[in-house]
Structure 1
Amino acid sequence: MKRFKIWALLALALWAATAAQARSLDEVQKSGKIVIATEGQFPPFNYFQGAKLSGFEIEVAELVAKKMGLGVEWKALGFDALLAGLRQDRWDLVIASHGVTEERTRAVTFTAPHYCSGGAIVSLDPAIRTVADLNGKLVSVQTGTTYLENVRKLSGVKEVKNFPQDTDARSALVSRRVDAWVTDKFVAAIAINANPGAGMKLGDFVFIERIAAAVAKGNQSLAQGYNKALAEAMTDGSYAALSKKYFNEDVRCK
């Protein structure tokens, strides 16, 4: 039995040593394309227009990749699976409005942030605007997000209802199954403008956060290459043009 365990451990060690590793910047450049994963369910940042991915983050990533001399192969899947797939080296980079947190930083390496925002309160009741107003209330959020993490920290909330997609969390509010919805400020503003008859009203921030793309933990060469190209986009005006197109303001972190 001991001998079997020893051989099993040796086999596991050999597998770990030969397992696929995250592609470095040099390897990505030699292939000519970068594989990027996103959710495709978080307008205006990443969403589908028919069969084509669109949104601010999609265009930012494609702009950065072009400056790196790369084409993009897109993968779209559930938000919860994005960082897990990155750790399994199934793609090179994830861009899906991930807030930079200590917990996530232990698992992946973040690039420089491509925008700053925060989790804002949305409600049909104009009396629900502040964090204090959430006391005793039902609040909807998306699973696996910093919105869920931060709302759960609020001691006065009656119940947090989490949903697979942010649009589901919004629908819970519109159908009055919850009292408030917490989501990205820009997502909320666009949803409110696009659905004036729904009666949604934007309240205060629950928290502020920096949003960044992510690469596999320790893949500094790819992160640095991406950061250099992103900085160029922010300097030459191309980032500002995209930001104005989607938000009519510059959403970079100040």
Structure 2
Amino acid sequence: MRKLKITLFIGILMVVLSACGGTSEGSSSEGTGKYDLMEEGKLVFAASGEFKPFSYMEGGKMVGYDIAVAEAIAEKLGLEPVQKKAKFSGIVTGVKQGRYDIAVASHTITEKRLKQVNFSDPYYYSGPVVYTRPDSDVKAADDLKGKKVSVSRGSTYVEMAKQYTNNIPQVDSDVVALQSLAKGHHDAVITDAVTGSTAIENGLEIEKRTQLGVSKQAVAVPKDHDKLLKDINKALKELKESGKLKELSMKWVGADITQKPDKSNE
């Protein structure tokens, strides 16, 4: 009888301890499994690898500002970052379908994309700019009417270009569009201000003509992953407040693009 009571007491104690461990905030049982990830303990993120200085290939892996931000977020969440290179035009759909946990790929927040995924707070701000060759007669946005304007496939610049012309060659990346522009294959390119400036610094003979607005770039997160989204926003907030996000921006982009401009097109 005495042995039965001891056994019963130990059993009850184990149940109590197990229950306490399961409800304790920050416990291991609530760790990596709390986000419903593709693989426990890992954060699989997508980027294009074709958008220098945000994501590009170096030594067989992707590097750049987007990649550094994704890795910093993963570290804050206590997860191992796993990068996946994908065509930009299919990344949002990939997040929606569960092929990636998140995307850190310079996606501009738009109503169309918000129908498929949720977005974090912005981790940088930029804006669409019209680039041409130095000898071009395109000086302002209205001069794009009827022109051949190239953009990155799947980007927000496709719809923007449609406001001015129906002749819109779509290519796999903004860099390819700018390189083709410099070679005389089309009249103009609408792309991100930072990407265009970087291309000019790297020797492409193109010029900035006019800026069309300001955009907010954020992390794409699957719908119904509220805990993941909340913690990513918390991580971004901490990275901003500590100065780490600015540090990464300066390292990879050469400027602080983490602060919201005075004027935007919200």
Q: TM-score, normalised by structure 1?
A: 0.84
Amino acid at match of 2:98: D
Asked whether the 8 Å contact 1:210–1:253 carries over to 2, the reply is: no
Task: Map 1:55-74 to 2 at 5 A.
Answer: 55-74=64-83
Q: Secondary structure at the match of 1:218?
A: coil
Amino acid at match of 1:64: I
In the other structure, the counterpart of 2:146 is 136
Return the offset for 1:242: 0.9
Amino acid at match of 1:204: T
C-alpha separation in 2, matches of 1:240 and 1:65: 17
In the other structure, the counterpart of 1:230 is 236
**Any idea what the Cα deviations from partners look like across 1:39-87, whole Å, max 9, x if unmatched?**
1111110111130210001001111111111111111111122111111
Tell whether 2:163 aligns with 1:153.
Answer: yes
C-alpha separation in 2, matches of 1:173 and 1:211: 25
Tell whether 2:180 aligns with 1:178.
Answer: no
C-alpha separation in 2, matches of 1:115 and 1:43: 15
Amino acid at match of 2:141: V
Return the offset for 1:159: 1.5
Return the offset for 1:29: 11
Asked whether the 8 Å contact 1:117–1:211 carries over to 2, the reply is: yes
Return the offset for 1:128: 2.2
C-alpha separation in 2, matches of 1:108 and 1:52: 26
Amino acid at match of 2:82: E
Task: Map 1:72-221 to 2 at 5 A.
Answer: 72-124=81-133, 125=135, 127-154=137-164, 157=165, 159-195=167-203, 198-221=204-227
Structure 2 unpaired stretches of 5+: 1-31, 261-266
Q: Secondary structure at the match of 1:61?
A: helix
Q: Secondary structure at the match of 1:113?
A: coil
**Deviation >3 Å, runs of 4+:** 23-30
In the other structure, the counterpart of 1:240 is 246
Asked whether the 8 Å contact 1:108–1:218 carries over to 2, the reply is: no
Amino acid at match of 2:76: K
Q: Secondary structure at the match of 1:48?
A: strand
Asked whether the 8 Å contact 1:113–1:253 carries over to 2, the reply is: no
Asked whether the 8 Å contact 2:38–2:100 carries over to 1, the reply is: no
Change beyond 3 A, Cα 1:29–1:86: closer
Q: CA RMSD in A?
A: 1.9
In the other structure, the counterpart of 2:6 is none
Asked whether the 8 Å contact 1:38–1:76 carries over to 2, the reply is: yes
Q: Secondary structure at the match of 1:203?
A: strand
C-alpha separation in 2, matches of 1:212 and 1:87: 15
How much identity, in percent, do the aligned residues show? 33
Quick check: 29-38 or 84-93, which moved more? Answer: 29-38
Q: Secondary structure at the match of 1:224?
A: helix
Change beyond 3 A, Cα 1:28–1:172: same
Amino acid at match of 1:201: E
In the other structure, the counterpart of 1:20 is none
Structure 1 unpaired stretches of 5+: 1-22
Q: Which has the higher contact order (CA 8 A, sep 6+)?
A: 1
C-alpha separation in 1, matches of 2:131 and 2:238: 35
Change beyond 3 A, Cα 1:158–1:104: closer
Q: Secondary structure at the match of 1:66?
A: helix
